[in-house]
Amino acid sequence: MTGTSESLTNADTDIVAPTRSDDGFLGNRLQVLQPLKGYRAGIDAVLLAASINARKGERVLEAGAGVGVASLCLASRVPGLDVVGLEMQGELVTLARENARRNAMQGRVTFVEGDIGSPVRDLVTMGLEPQSFDHVFANPPYYDPASASASPDAGKAQSHLTLGSDIDDWVRFLCTMAKPKGTVSFIHRADAMGALLSALQGRVGGIEVFPLWPAAGKPASRIILRGIRGSNAPLILRSGLVLHATDGHFSERAEGVLRHAAALRLDQPA
């Protein structure tokens, strides 16, 4: 990921203060505006998008879309998708829409301001019909405010901490929006796997757990978890992906995903 910063000038002092960056993703195939302060998308969003096994003509929903990185990465890799991103922070929705426009994807990727906890009737008003998406995915807040210190930046805190919505809420929303036999996907901390599996019980089957290893021999820091709504198939623990080689650079397979927009097949050996 590469980037530059954009600035605003204070009319009283003429001091130029950077407010957002212009970052490259997928080897600069995408140029994405992000706030310099607050939550900033990184490789988790790119890896999650690469794992969605969507095909041309399908409809996909991202919950908690931020500035749209994952949605745009997916749409860039798979042409002919109808992608919708739901985000509760209005300023991020504005940036996401601008990012879709500047990457010439505004006709294929749309962003809606809303909350995963909204009543179904409100979601329908936004054009989000339950059980209408072939794939639903999320990179939800990773930390519970009871066990983690909130960032002084309100936007960053809202993105990193659950703040009233927990894993159960995210699972419930994703499963509500997915079609029968549609996929439900998360990227999360490895130590959240138990909570995710518990929340998904009875809702999805055919679950695949895909560890993300920082380097060979190190514990997994993240997991991608994907299930099929209404399936009764058993859980599969996949071999996962080693992110970094011994020299500290990205592994060849990780480089293919992060720089060259390759798909991340969960059934492929590490």
- The mean predicted confidence, pLDDT, of the chain is 89
Over residues 217-233, the mean pLDDT reads 97
Strands 133-138 and 82-87: unpaired
153 within domain boundaries: yes
Domain contains 120: yes
Residues 109, 20: Cα–Cα separation, whole Å: 22
pTM above 0.85, yes or no: yes
Rounded Cα–Cα distance for residues 147 and 20 (Å): 30
Q: pLDDT for 172-201, tens place per residue?
A: 999 999 999 999 999 999 999 999 999 999
Going from the C-alpha of 60 to that of each of 55, 83, 111, 133, 266, the distances in angstroms are 10, 5, 12, 5, 18
The CB density around residue 176, as the number of other CB atoms within 10 Å, is: 18
- Examine the pLDDT at 143 and tell me if it is beyond 70: no
pLDDT band at 117 (very low <50, low <70, confident <90, very high): very high
pLDDT band at 13 (very low <50, low <70, confident <90, very high): very low
The reported pLDDT for the residue numbered 58 is: 98
Residue 266 lies in a domain: no
Mean pLDDT of 95-104: 98
How far apart CA 191 and CA 185 sit, in angstroms, is 16
Confidence of residue 148 (pLDDT cuts 50, 70, 90): very low
Per the listing, tokens 């910063």 go with 5
Q: Which residue has the higher pLDDT, 143 or 57?
A: 57
What's the order of all strands across the beta sheet hosting 16-25? 2-9, 16-25, 30-35
Beta bridge partners of 110: 84
Distance separating alpha carbons of residues 89 and 196, to the nearest angstrom: 24
Checking if the pLDDT of 162 tops 60, the result is no
**Residue 152 domain-assigned (yes or no):** yes
Please determine, for residue 17, whether its predicted confidence score (pLDDT) is greater than 90: no
Whether residue 7 contacts residue 18, with contact meaning beta carbons closer than 8 Å, is answered with yes
The whole-angstrom separation of Cα 225 and Cα 237 is: 10
Give me the domain span that covers residue 102: 41-260
Structural domain contains residue 52 = yes
In a domain, 105, yes or no: yes
More confident residue, 269 or 159: 269
Domain harbouring 137, CATH code: 3.40.50.150
State yes or no: pLDDT of 133 exceeds 90. Answer: yes
> Would 232 be classed as within a structural domain?
yes
pLDDT confidence bin for 146, thresholds 50/70/90: very low
Per the structure, the count of domains in the chain is 1
Which of the two residues, 37 and 179, has the higher pLDDT score?
Answer: 179
Q: How confident is the model at residue 19 (pLDDT cuts 50, 70, 90)?
A: confident
Is residue 68 pLDDT above 80, yes or no? yes
What is 142-179 written as a DSSP string? -B-TTTSPPPSSHHHHHHHB-TT--HHHHHHHHHHHEE
Annotate 203-214 with DSSP letters as a single string.
Answer: TEEEEEEEEEEE
Q: How far apart are the first and last CA of the chain?
A: 23
Q: Is the pLDDT of residue 243 over 70?
A: yes
| 85-95 tens-digit pLDDT | 999 999 999 99
Task: Judge whether 32 lies within some domain.
Answer: no
